[in-house]
Amino acid sequence: MKVSVVDLASPSAPDEFADSLHETGFAVLVNHPIPFSLVQDVWAQWLAFFATDRKWEFRHAPGEQDGYRPLDGSELAVGARVKDIKEYFHIYPWGRAPQPESKVALELFDRGRQLAETLLGWVQQAAPAPVAERFTVPLPKMLEGSHRTMLRVLHYPPLTGDEPEGSLRAAAHEDINLLTVLPAANEPGLQVRGLDGSWFDVPCDPGSVVINAGDMLDLASGGFFPSTTHRVLNPSLADNRSRCSTPLFLHPADSVVLDVVDGVPYTAFDFLNERITAITGEPLRPLPVDVA
């Protein structure tokens, strides 16, 4: 399985990107509009934040999505026996966030969202007519009015040796959302699973951006743009350092219909609520009144 590296400065970039997303569910971008210096600023500020007790001031409330989740409150991937080895913070424009760390995070959020709108336009154009006809609205318009798009700032701490047997920094999973924009992390470890079950390293060159389709795009396209299983491996003893990762999860508006099941519209909110409940055991709360 080969995840394509797509040069956004190339005239063929739209077709190359859409082809890679169709064939593998992933693509790696270079010469993109997200400055590497901004990504480095996010790493530096947020790794420092995770090292302080300030993070506990922002611990999430049950059923809510914004804020901090500690190691013992990490996700349990569907089918996994033990939780992931990570702590993280969910950044929403409307949510709680520390200062000054949120300034650089929200700038990364904005630049990633703008890039995603372009990419979704390319996917829309490349979709064969039977696939495009499945979309209830054009893909870029699915983002309009959405307040669910979220930047997750992840900290995978160095391993201590006391981790539960079989635990990984991130167990095998698929993303829930429409499209994920992931600037390359400061340390390697991301792998994608091919159709034959083998695992392949995803390029992690500094300054590159990984893009992958999520389950919502898979569902909306009838599987034409597949949501591919991926994971984050534990480091070797020689490379046992903190890893910082900043995926931006692009979500449609809650009311967007992703599919019709037995004549009943299946919305983005229906799908997200089912998945969040399965992963965290906490049903998704409605958005705050002032942003809904």
What DSSP designation does 145 have? T
Rounded CA-CA distance 152/214 in Å is 15
pLDDT for residue 289 is more than 60 = no
Looking at residue 43, its pLDDT comes to 96
pLDDT for residue 290 is more than 90 = no
Is the residue at 291 inside a domain?
Answer: no
26, 19 Cβ separation under 8 angstroms: no
Is the residue at 129 inside a domain?
Answer: yes
150, 79 Cβ separation under 8 angstroms: no
Rounded CA-CA distance 190/200 in Å is 9
Residue 46 domain boundaries = 5-280
Looking at residue 291, its pLDDT comes to 65
For the chain, what is the mean pLDDT? Answer: 92
Is the residue at 114 inside a domain?
Answer: yes
Is the residue at 199 inside a domain?
Answer: yes
Is the residue at 78 inside a domain?
Answer: yes
Looking at residue 13, its pLDDT comes to 97
Is the residue at 289 inside a domain?
Answer: no
pLDDT for residue 123 is more than 90 = yes
- What CATH number should be reported for the domain holding residue 157? 2.60.120.330
pLDDT for residue 84 is more than 80 = yes
Cα 216 to the center of its chain, rounded Å: 12
pLDDT tens-place string over residues 188-241? 999 999 878 899 988 888 999 999 999 999 999 999 999 999 999 999 888 999
Is the residue at 290 inside a domain?
Answer: no
Rounded CA-CA distance 9/137 in Å is 28
Is the residue at 285 inside a domain?
Answer: no
Neighbours of 164 (CB within 10 A): 9
Looking at residue 89, its pLDDT comes to 97
Spell out the residues 6+ positions from residue 94 whose beta carbon is closer than 8 angstroms to its own: 66, 147, 287, 288, 290, 291
Rounded CA-CA distance 29/207 in Å is 9
Looking at residue 292, its pLDDT comes to 52
Amino acid at 258: L
Range with lowest mean pLDDT among 99-108, 241-250, 281-290:
281-290
Q: Which residue has the higher pLDDT, 97 or 73?
A: 97
How many separate domains does the chain show? 1
Rounded CA-CA distance 154/50 in Å is 9
Tell me the average pLDDT across 172-183: 96
